[in-house]
């Protein structure tokens, strides 16, 4: 009896799955590999049905002899472990992002004499509707809010990109690339105070008010499903902060990061070039404690951001604050730096992790940008935020187009830098 291997995310079981399972079962003893939640989230969207339930469902389908987990979208690890004679797949993966994965499967099978059998892919129109519905479910506040914590449980290190309106939200939601046999996408979005202010032509000094910040979040939420981390600046007055976190929690935001500054907040990357003051440890700890008290769920996270390195108060001060804020109930620590090298951040992470292995560490590597995500992950970082790259790349592109039109007295020359009209007209998905 030949050993047959079929891999599926199987989040939504439909007729196409049943058909391919029954065909595969005619070829030999069928093992179905179920992609783990982490693997599905990496290449598609967060699964609606948890891994353990998916394993159980698949195991009870007629024709399935064994069910095994598959930890990555690539098959290599499992193929070398189980050495199936046949791998079965729909022929849809010959093109698109799965094509390199298919190539790797063929190569691995060749190494021990296995064979790939592809069945014609049945394009089920119901599936498109089901997939759209899955997105709707994932975008509901109660589902979205908890997803940051869930992702932190599944993945060691999350990659978060800034979004400051619906359009940038769509970019963070939908952009994915194939790299080294993996599909990469962002895990969530950062609603930056710098970018939200800049997009409105305002300085980053807590001038854009709460109502406006909430409106930006709504705009992003309308068109996306991924978890949102809000840059909450100083958090404002404690009495206001308590109301604000309740509002965010109800909306489905997953986390707020507040920084330990007082008075007129200016952007951290100015450092000591402008006058900025750090809050006393006890006051900021109290803000965290009261914020946590106001919440109704354990899903929503309040993350404390330490400005000691930004304001040159030293490593000791940064660490003392970090432990105090964790003690006060902070669900994570963001350590910030404006140095060009990562040295002080690496030192902080080492010292903090020596005493605290659990509390998530967040970094914003805007200036110290040479270290890769994999390297940060090994050091113990849990969330990496790309805080401003979308707006920083959009502005020069728009300015160049404006200058090109002025220079040429017409817009023909600018077209080379522009998206085709047809594409912009169909860029935004419809309401269904
Ligand atoms: C932001 O994105 O607004 C931040 C990060 O707070 S930073 O600009 O680096 O201070
Ligand atoms: Mg900010």
Domain boundaries defined on the chain: 3-127, 140-387, 393-427
pLDDT of residue 312: 95
Predicted local confidence at residue 11, as pLDDT: 79
Q: Is 192 in the pocket of ligand 1 (CB under 6 A)?
A: yes
**Is 295 strand, coil or helix?**
coil
How confident is the model at residue 432, as a pLDDT?
Answer: 67
CATH superfamily placement of domain 3-127: HUPs (3.40.50.620)
Mutate to test the pocket of ligand 1, among 364, 365, 368, 392 (most ligand atoms within 8 A of CB): 364
| Per-residue pLDDT, 98 | 84
Q: State the pLDDT at residue 136.
A: 87
Mean pLDDT per block of 10 residues along the chain (432 residues) reads: 91 84 96 92 82 93 96 94 96 86 95 95 74 86 95 93 97 88 90 98 96 98 96 97 98 98 90 90 98 97 98 97 98 97 98 98 98 98 98 98 98 96 87 69
Q: Ligand 1 centroid vs 265 CA: distance in angstroms?
A: 11
- For the whole model, what pTM was predicted? 0.89
Closest CA to 301 of 334, 278, 265, 340: 334
CA distances to 69, 191, 211, 212 from 216, in Å: 40, 8, 9, 6
Among 172, 267, 304, the mutation site with the greatest number of ligand 1 atoms within 8 A of its Cβ is 267
Q: What is the pLDDT of residue 133?
A: 84
> Does residue 388 have its Cβ closer than 6 Å to ligand 1?
yes
Q: Do 3-127 and 140-387 agree at the fold level?
A: no
Give the pLDDT score at 92.
87
Q: Does domain 140-387 have CATH number 3.20.20.60?
A: yes
Query: How far is ligand 2, taken at its centre, from the CA of residue 267, in Å?
Result: 6
Helix or strand holding residue 300 (H, E): none
Tell me which residue has its CA closest to atom 7 in ligand 1. 268
Cα distance between residue 306 and residue 28, in whole Å: 59
Whether residue 387 has its Cβ less than 6 Å from ligand 1:
yes
Per-residue pLDDT at 44 = 78
pLDDT at res. 13: 82
Pinpoint the alpha helices (H) of 44-180. Answer: 51-59, 76-82, 99-112, 125-139, 141-145, 147-154, 166-174
231 lines ligand 1 (CB under 6 A): yes
């Amino acid at each position: 009896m030949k050993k047959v291997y079929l891999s599926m995310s199987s989040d939504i079981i439909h007729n196409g799955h049943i058909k391919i399972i029954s065909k595969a079962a005619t070829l030999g003893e069928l093992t179905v590999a179920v992609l783990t939640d982490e693997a599905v989230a990496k290449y598609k969207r967060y699964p609606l049905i948890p891994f353990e339930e998916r394993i159980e469902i698949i195991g009870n389908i007629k024709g399935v002899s064994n069910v095994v987990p598959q930890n990555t979208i690539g098959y290599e690890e499992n193929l070398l472990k189980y050495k199936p004679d046949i791998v079965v797949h729909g022929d849809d993966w010959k093109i698109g992002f799965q094509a390199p994965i298919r190539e790797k499967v063929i190569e691995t099978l060749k190494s021990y004499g296995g064979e790939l059998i592809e069945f014609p892919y049945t394009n089920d129109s119901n599936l498109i509707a089901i997939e759209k519905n899955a997105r709707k479910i994932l975008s509901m506040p109660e589902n979205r809010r908890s997803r940051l914590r869930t992702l932190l449980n599944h993945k060691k290190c999350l990659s978060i990109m800034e979004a400051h309106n619906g359009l940038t939200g769509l970019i963070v939601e939908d952009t994915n690339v194939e790299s080294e046999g993996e599909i990469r996408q962002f895990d969530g979005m950062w609603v930056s105070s710098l970018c939200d202010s800049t997009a409105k032509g305002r300085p980053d000094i807590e001038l854009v008010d709460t109502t406006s910040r909430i409106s930006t979040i709504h705009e992003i939420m309308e068109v996306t499903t991924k978890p949102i981390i809000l840059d909450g600046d100083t958090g404002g007055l404690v009495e206001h902060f308590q109301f604000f976190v309740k509002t965010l929690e109800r909306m489905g935001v997953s986390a707020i990061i507040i920084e330990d500054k007082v008075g007129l907040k200016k952007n951290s990357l100015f450092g000591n070039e402008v006058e900025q003051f750090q809050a006393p440890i006890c006051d900021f700890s109290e803000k965290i404690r009261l914020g946590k008290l106001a919440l109704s769920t354990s899903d929503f996270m309040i993350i404390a951001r330490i400005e000691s390195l930004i304001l040159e108060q030293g490593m000791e001060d940064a660490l003392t604050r970090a432990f105090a804020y964790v003690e006060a109930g902070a669900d994570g620590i963001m350590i910030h730096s404006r140095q060009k090298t990562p040295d002080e951040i690496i030192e902080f992470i080492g010292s903090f992790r020596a005493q605290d292995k659990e509390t998530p560490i967040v970094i914003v590597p805007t200036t110290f940008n040479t270290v890769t995500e994999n390297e940060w992950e090994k050091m113990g970082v849990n969330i990496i935020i790309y805080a401003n790259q979308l707006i920083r790349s959009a502005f020069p592109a728009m300015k160049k187009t404006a200058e090109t039109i002025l220079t040429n007295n017409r817009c023909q020359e600018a077209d080379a830098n522009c998206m085709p009209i047809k594409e912009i007209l169909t860029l935004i998905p419809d309401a269904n």
